[in-house]
Structure 1
C-alpha cells in the first residue's frame, strides 16, 4: 500500500504542468484512489511496527532480541543461493553472460536487454546475469515487474558501466550506473529503483542532478560510491546507505549543491533515508574550488521528509548550517533531519540551522530507530545474502 501511495504521488507529479480536462479528470480519480489507500494505511498502522513521532511514522522504540544467526531464510532466496553474493566473482555461475565485444567462449548475448528477455517471468530463484567489463549504452533499459529476482553481477566499479537504467526487482554487485547527460542538462537520472528488498553492493552511481532516484520500498546500499550535485540522492523510499562514499561534484556556476531530497508521499507510511557509517566528501573536480560553491546535507521535497546522518565522516565542503528549505516559501519545521556522532570538519553542529525539524544532536534512542534492523528490518532479508552489514548502530 505504501508503494501504491508512492506511485500515485509520482503520477500526480506528472500532471503538475498539464492543463485542461485531462488533468482535472486524472486528479479526481487519483484523489479517490488516494483516499482509499490512505484509509487502509491508517488501519494498517495499528498493527505494524511504527509509532507516531511529531506527526511522522518511524520504526518503534521497543528493544529487539533477535538472534540474527538463527533467523529463517528469507522467502525470496533459497538456501542454495544465500551465500552467492558474498562469493568471489570468479565462483559465481551465471545464467547468462553479456559482452558487447561479441559472442565467444562463455558469452551468451551482446546486450543487457537480450539477457533480461531471456530471464523467466516471476522467478522464485535468482536469475544471474554476468555483465562483462565495458560501457553499455542501452537507452532506457528497463527491468519489467514480471522479471523478478534478477541479479546483475559486473566486473567491478568503473569496469562494467551501464548508462540509463530503470529497474525493478534486482540485486546488483560490481556495476557502475552512469548518466552521461552532464550538469548542463540538469535533471538526468542514472538509476531509478522501485524494488522491494533491493540490494546494491560495491556499485557506483554517477551523475550530476538527480543521480539516484530511490523511488519506493525498502532498499539497502553497501560499499557504494554515489556522485552528483543537486538532490542527487532523492525519492520516497525507505533506504539505508552503509559504508558508502557520497561525492559532491562541481556544479554549474551559481548552483547550490544538495545531497539528499527526500519526500514522504503519505503521512502514514514509514519512509526516510539513513546514512550510516559513510563518507561525505568533495569529488576531485569540486575539491580545488569547493570554497566557490555551497553544499548542504539535504533539503525536504515535502513536509515529513526524513533524513539522518549517523557515525559518518563529513567533509569541510558542507555548509555549517547543514540543511536548507526546499525554497523561499517553505520551512524545516515539519521534517525530521537528524545527526548522530558524526565526525570530520563538516560535522561541527554549533552553527546548524535552528528549527523544530532539525535534530543536530540525536540521542542513542533516536538514532537506533534508523539502523538496518529497526528501520528496514534488514536482518530478515539482507543477512542471508552474505552482503556485509551492521544491524545496529555499531559504535
Structure 2
C-alpha cells in the first residue's frame, strides 16, 4: 500500500490510542451496536472521515500511490487489437496467455484482446508492467478460461502454491477491463473443514479494474479481490466459503452471488486491518441465492468492512448474518451493514448486535461510484 508520510503515521497512532482509551473508559460495547450506529467507535470513524474530506488530497491516497507505469494522459480506446481463437485462424493466437505475452512489456495504450468461443484450459497471468489490457469474450456462456489448482497443490519449486498462486487467471496490472467472459476454477467442492483447498478462479491485484457481464465460478475462495479499486457490474459469482475475499475497495452492482454448499458457507471475507485503511466491499442492487446456510461475511480483517444495499437475499442467509472469525474483539471494530435489503434472508431483527441497519446518511457513501472514485477512472462504455 505505499509508505505513509510521518504526519499521517502520527495521526494513526493518536487515533489508535484514542480508540483504545475510549473502549477502556466505557464507550458502548459491541453488544450496543444499534440501528442508529451511534456508538463511540462510529463517532471516531466519522470524525476521521470528516477530517479526510477537509484535507482532500489524502482521499484514497493509498491506492493512488500504486499507479505503477501508467501516465495521466488520455489513453486511446484501442491502439492494438489481438485475437484468440480455438480455431486455426491467420493472425490469431490459440492461447490466451500467448496473446497476452505478445503485448509490449511496458504498455501505455489500450490493448483489446478478443477471445473467441470455446473453453481455454490454461493458467493465465498479466504482469504488473502490462497496463491497459481489455479482455473481451464472445459471451460469458461461450468463452471460458479454466484451470484446477488448489492452495495445497505443489508448484514448480515443490512447495504448495498457496491461495495467492492458485488463481486460474491473475491480474497484476492497472486499468484492466474484462467483458463477457467466464473465469473458472474446476477444483471440486471441498468437504467442510478441509485444509489447503482454497481454489481461486480470479485474482485482481491492481488498481482501477472493471468487470462487466463476467462469471467467476469456483468453490472455496472463488474471487480474490486482493487490492486496488474495482467495479463489478452484471456479474455472476459462485462459490462456497469466502467466495469474495481480499482487501480491495470494490463496488458490486447488479451482481448475482450464488452459494454452492450443503453446510455452512460465507459470502465475503474482507481484510481491512486498520481504521485508516480505505478498503471495503459494497454490494448494491445485487441478488444472493443458493444452497446451504450462508453468512453474509466473516471478519477476516480486524476492521473488516462490508455493506449490502437494495439487495435481495434468499432464505439461505443465516439469521445472525455475520461471523467474527472466532475473535470477539473484532465485534468492536468491524463495519458490517445492510440498507433497504429485501427477501426472506434480509430480516434484520435476528442479526448479530454488532452489525448495523444503516440510515440513509450512513449508506450514502457506499452506494455510488464515489465509493471507488469511479467517475475519475471508469470507462464511459
The alignment partner of 2:322 has SS state of: coil
Q: Name the counterpart of 1:334.
A: 333
Contact 1:42 1:268 in 2 (8 A): no
Q: Name the counterpart of 1:155.
A: 138
> CA separation of 1:376/1:249 partners in 2, compared to 1, >3 Å: closer, same or farther?
same
Deviation at 1:321, TM superposition (A): 1.1
Q: Name the counterpart of 2:300.
A: 301
Tell me the TM-score normalized by structure 2. Answer: 0.74
Contact 1:186 1:208 in 2 (8 A): no
360, 374, 377: which one aligns with 1:381: 377
1:95 aligned to 2:81? yes
1:362 aligned to 2:355? no
202, 206, 211: which one aligns with 1:200: 211
Matches of residues 311-326 of structure 1 in structure 2 within 5 Å? 311-326=310-325
The alignment partner of 1:332 has SS state of: helix
The alignment partner of 1:215 has SS state of: strand
State how far apart, in whole Å, the 2-side matches of 1:96 and 1:44 are.
48
69, 89, 92: which one aligns with 1:108: 92
Deviation at 1:153, TM superposition (A): 0.4
285, 288, 306: which one aligns with 1:280: 288
Q: Which runs of 5+ in 2 are unaligned?
A: 13-40, 55-69, 147-167, 191-195
The alignment partner of 1:380 has SS state of: helix
State how far apart, in whole Å, the 1-side matches of 2:312 and 2:244 are.
17
> CA separation of 1:236/1:123 partners in 2, compared to 1, >3 Å: closer, same or farther?
same
State how far apart, in whole Å, the 2-side matches of 1:306 and 1:159 are.
35
Deviation by residue 1:160-179 (Cα, 9 ceiling, x = unmatched): 11121111232100110000
> CA separation of 1:168/1:346 partners in 2, compared to 1, >3 Å: closer, same or farther?
same
Contact 1:210 1:230 in 2 (8 A): yes
Matches of residues 221-240 of structure 1 in structure 2 within 5 Å? 221-240=232-251
1:122 aligned to 2:106? yes
State how far apart, in whole Å, the 2-side matches of 1:222 and 1:331 are.
30
Q: Name the counterpart of 2:169.
A: 165
Q: Name the counterpart of 1:87.
A: none
Tell me the TM-score normalized by structure 1. Answer: 0.72
The alignment partner of 2:250 has SS state of: strand
Q: Which runs of 5+ in 1 are unaligned?
A: 5-35, 46-51, 64-73, 85-92, 287-292, 388-395
Q: Name the counterpart of 2:63.
A: none
CA RMSD, Structure 1 to Structure 2 (Å):
2.7
Q: Name the counterpart of 1:137.
A: 121
Q: Name the counterpart of 2:264.
A: 256
Deviation at 1:80, TM superposition (A): 5.3
The alignment partner of 2:120 has SS state of: strand
Q: Name the counterpart of 1:175.
A: 181
215, 223, 230: which one aligns with 1:219: 230
Deviation at 1:294, TM superposition (A): 1.7
Q: Name the counterpart of 1:343.
A: 342
| Aligned pairs, number | 308
Deviation by residue 1:27-74 (Cα, 9 ceiling, x = unmatched): xxxxxxxxx6484754799xxxxxx945558865979xxxxxxxxxx9
State how far apart, in whole Å, the 1-side matches of 2:327 and 2:231 are.
33
The alignment partner of 2:139 has SS state of: coil
